[in-house]
Amino acid sequence: MKTIAILGTLDTKGEEHAYVAELIRARGHKALLIDVGTQGAPTVLPDVPRTELIGSQTFTDRGEAVAAISQAAAAFCAKLVAEGKIDGIISLGGGGGTAIGTSAMRALPVGLPKLMVSTLAASENAPVYMGVKDVTMMPSIVDVAGLNRISRPIFANAAGAICGMVETVVPAAEDKPVIAASMFGNTTDCVNHAKGLLEAAGYEVLVFHATGTGGRTMESLIETGLVAGVLDLTTTEWADEHIGGILGAGPTRLEAAARAGVPAVIAPGCMDMVNFGEPDTVPAKFAGRTFYHHNPQVTLMRTSVDECLALGKLLAGKINLSTGPVRVLLPWDGISMISQPDGPFHDGAADEALFDTLKTHLRDDIAVEEFDCAINAPQFSKAAAKALLGMLGK
């Protein structure tokens, strides 16, 4: 028998959550009904009243109430998981319920089953609710407001889904130490070659695409303590974050490994480019710049000398936070596939500005290796893998 937490705004959605609880219990599992309502008294009896989460606090503003109960629910559910008291979590809701339910889910470990039945599952904001965790969002089709001929089978399917998730046994496998690596289309050859060398040395390499979400997910995984080393050869997300592209990974990119002391090899891969969508989505202020149409939906803009000066200093500041072994590798013949000599983004002055500024602002004790080749050259990827293996004692 497994225990499934059911997070519900029971003041307005009690009937729906009680229905799911009944179906879960019918499958032979324990349902822990937790009230996260913020308005009136619960309409069904919870197993965990909201007072266990927020005490006797009362709120006059709904937004303030949702924010407070979201934070409390996240802390409470994380504690339940840490104590081994729940095996999965499910919630049903509209806007407020989805905000509260997914806030709790994002606080839980990757791998723990998480299912949010939501009116917002098919919206453009769905990724915001999922964050960088494995939250499964299921469209409610109709409003989560009572039981009817549409909602009953939807909620029944949801109950069956979460039960199936907690019942699933992950097949046993040999767990190897994990290395996290960043990659983009323009650094694929480099990372794939290095990945093969690291795997041959006995490591499992998890590759994250530098698309904003990928960088945030990688940082989140490093924070869990499961990562032995980091091959961060594609730091391009900082170009988008700083200049205004669409694939920024937030202001803490590159900080997780540095603060945790995880060995890392870092290169300014693809910092020659800023990502935008279709050509007509590029802000007017960038008119006249050098662009490359990667595909009909992706327009790349070459970073300028001034932007590279700023990016070099910024990157150095993040690397300087390192409390563990770190090494910086610089490929002088191109930091992406398209910035190699004769490539559309080749700009020696911009690369020099990036590299020289980075070296100038790095701590004196941080080693820098420079190479007369492009980032995708076998010589460079081999050196990156060898450097990381050396820091890992291999």
- Does 153 lie in the same domain as 85? yes
Check whether residue 298 and residue 358 sit in a common domain.
yes
| Domain limit, last residue, from 103, 133, 167 | 167
Does residue 351 belong to any structural domain of this protein? yes
* Whether residue 133 is found in the same domain as residue 271: no
Q: What is the CATH number of the domain that holds 76?
A: 3.40.50.12020
Q: Is the domain of 140 the same as that of 8?
A: yes
Count up the domains in the chain and report the number. 2
Domain co-membership, 153 together with 198: no
Domain presence at residue 151 = yes
Cβ–Cβ < 8 Å for 155, 117: yes
144-179 residue pLDDT tens:
989 999 999 999 999 999 999 999 998 987 889 999
Range of the structural domain that residue 111 is part of: 3-167
E-only strand ranges, 9-61: 30-35
Residue 257: exposed, middle, or buried by beta-carbon count in 10 A (0-12, 13-18, 19+)? buried
Report the Cα–Cα distance between both ends of the chain, in Å, rounded: 44
The whole-number pLDDT of residue 150 equals 95
- Gap between the Cα atoms of 311 and 45, Å rounded: 56
In this structure, the dihedral spanned by the alpha carbons of residues 34, 73, 2 and 130, taken in order and rounded to 10 degrees, is 120
Q: Do 384 and 329 contact (CB within 8 A), yes or no?
A: yes
Pair 210, 234: CB distance under 8 Å:
yes
Sign of CA dihedral 312, 314, 320, 322: negative
Within-domain flag for 300: yes
pLDDT by 10s per residue, the chain, length 394? 999 999 999 999 999 999 999 999 999 999 999 999 988 899 999 999 999 999 988 888 888 999 999 999 999 999 999 999 999 999 999 999 999 999 999 999 999 999 999 999 999 889 999 998 999 999 999 999 899 999 999 999 999 999 999 999 989 878 899 999 999 999 999 999 999 999 999 999 999 999 999 999 999 999 989 999 999 999 999 999 999 999 999 999 999 999 999 999 999 999 999 999 999 999 999 999 999 998 889 999 999 999 999 999 999 999 999 999 999 999 999 999 999 999 999 999 999 999 999 999 999 999 999 999 999 999 999 999 999 999 999 8
**Is residue 173 in some structural domain?**
no
**Are residues 186 and 117 located together in one domain of the fold?**
no
Do 47 and 159 fall within a single domain?
yes
- Cα(391)–Cα(303) distance, integer angstroms: 32
Owner of token pair 């917002």 = 120
Identify each DSSP E strand in the chain by its residue range: 3-8, 30-35, 88-93, 114-118, 136-139, 178-183, 204-209, 227-232, 264-266, 273-276, 291-295, 298-302, 326-331, 367-371
The CA R_g of the chain, rounded to the nearest whole Å, is: 24
